[in-house]
A and B are shown apart, each in its own frame.
Chain A
């Protein structure tokens, strides 16, 4: 059982260390830049609320993925019940250009944007698996995050990668 100051320092260090996970998951599940920000906030909140339940049985990043993906999946499920945004929505590409570093070329950014678009177009569970794979998470950890067996993860990933490749085909041909 951790004390509140311990929880606080753990939370702050994890948020700092794994902020990229939150941003990538949010962007993959959001329909707009504003929604991506909303999901990210919700994830941060859920991480804090769920932190006392972290038993240390998995890697922090695995646990963070689980909380974030669950939040994003729940968010999508509740999407139709949410009030409709009527304000003009910033394009999701704005996130890419806002966070781009000089090291990222314009071509990289374009491919990355197309990749996010393709990820958003595949079913939610496949999307989660593809995100984990792109972030270099092992099959064992993926099974911990999703609750699927490792074999099932492998099968689902093959299917997801095929779908993604189909969606990316036209794009990369254009860019090449």
Chain B
């Protein structure tokens, strides 16, 4: 086999083929669904970033009032602020990629598919950018609170707190049940969103995109 054979086979390859789709219905609802998704993302980014800032303020006040271990609290606030920054960057990204009103539906579909795939990546990778920093932040706050509590214990050791059954149950329950369950729940809900909402929408838009392109 030589170059000419490869060239021949290359030129015979088929262009992407569209699957059957109810184009009229998809096109009619596209704009409404796109706007709804934009609204959902705006609410998500603002509420998550706002909640993050609020948590930081609360932690700051808590830190100031109780005089907890400074570096632990500072680290906890930094982790939470990191997540806030991610949501702010998401908003910047959404605004930068916005197409003008004159953009054709094909470009709008491409833009939305781009956005949905980005969301899909974010949802699938939620551990490193969302769950891990927030989990670390929670853990640091609890450790700071326990260390502050230990200071009031007779010997001043953290393990003294475990002698009180209620405190021991709270500490163990918190780390063994509450934290894993909360984070598993967040992870599960994200996976569910991808499978039930994002993936079907991507599929729908891909069909629409293929059908709208005139045959070559």
* Contact present for B10 and A19 (CB under 8 Å): no
* Contact present for A115 and B14 (CB under 8 Å): no
* Contact present for A175 and B10 (CB under 8 Å): no
B124: chain A residues at CB < 8 Å are: 85-87
- CB nearest neighbor in A for B102: A4
* Contact present for B1 and A175 (CB under 8 Å): yes
- CB nearest neighbor in A for B214: A16
Main DSSP-derived SS at the B contact region: helix
* Contact present for A19 and B216 (CB under 8 Å): yes
Measured in the bound complex, the distance between the Cα atoms of B13 and A103 in whole Å is: 9
Partner of A41, one of B5, B102, B110, B121: B110
* Contact present for A20 and B106 (CB under 8 Å): no
A5 to chain B, nearest CB (A): 8
Q: Which bracket fits the contact residues of A?
A: 35 or more
* Contact present for B10 and A11 (CB under 8 Å): no
| CB of B196 closer than 8 Å to a CB of A | no
Measured in the bound complex, the distance between the Cα atoms of B214 and A37 in whole Å is: 19
Q: Mark B205-216, 1 if CB is under 8 A from A, else 0.
A: 010000011111
- CB nearest neighbor in B for A7: B102
Q: How many residues of B contact A (CB 8 A)?
A: 39
| CB of A122 closer than 8 Å to a CB of B | no
Interface centre among B3, B122, B215 (most CB of A within 10 A): B3
Measured in the bound complex, the distance between the Cα atoms of B15 and A98 in whole Å is: 10
Interface residues of A in 6-42 (CB under 8 A from B): 7-8, 11-13, 15-20, 23-24, 34, 37-38, 41-42
A32 to chain B, nearest CB (A): 12
* Contact present for B3 and A161 (CB under 8 Å): yes
Which of B57-65, B111-119, B167-175 contacts its partner?
Answer: B111-119
Interface residues of B in 1-40 (CB under 8 A from A): 1, 3, 5-7, 9-17
B106: chain A residues at CB < 8 Å are: 11-12, 15, 44, 48
* Contact present for A19 and B12 (CB under 8 Å): no
* Contact present for A44 and B11 (CB under 8 Å): no
B10: chain A residues at CB < 8 Å are: 112, 115, 134-135
Partner of B9, one of A83, A108, A136, A161: A108
B129: chain A residues at CB < 8 Å are: 83
Partner of A101, one of B14, B97, B114, B215: B14
* Contact present for A99 and B114 (CB under 8 Å): no
Q: Mark B117-147, 1 if CB is under 8 A from A, else 0.
A: 1001110110011000000000000000000
* Contact present for A45 and B13 (CB under 8 Å): no
* Contact present for B125 and A84 (CB under 8 Å): yes
Chain B residues proximal to chain A, CB less than 8 Å? 1, 3, 5-7, 9-17, 97, 99, 102-104, 106-107, 110-111, 113-114, 117, 120-122, 124-125, 128-129, 206, 212-216
Besides the known contacts A17-B216, A20-B15, A86-B124, 11 further A-B residue pairs in the complex with CB atoms under 8 A apart: A7-B104, A8-B104, A16-B214, A44-B110, A48-B103, A86-B125, A99-B14, A104-B13, A112-B9, A134-B10, A165-B3
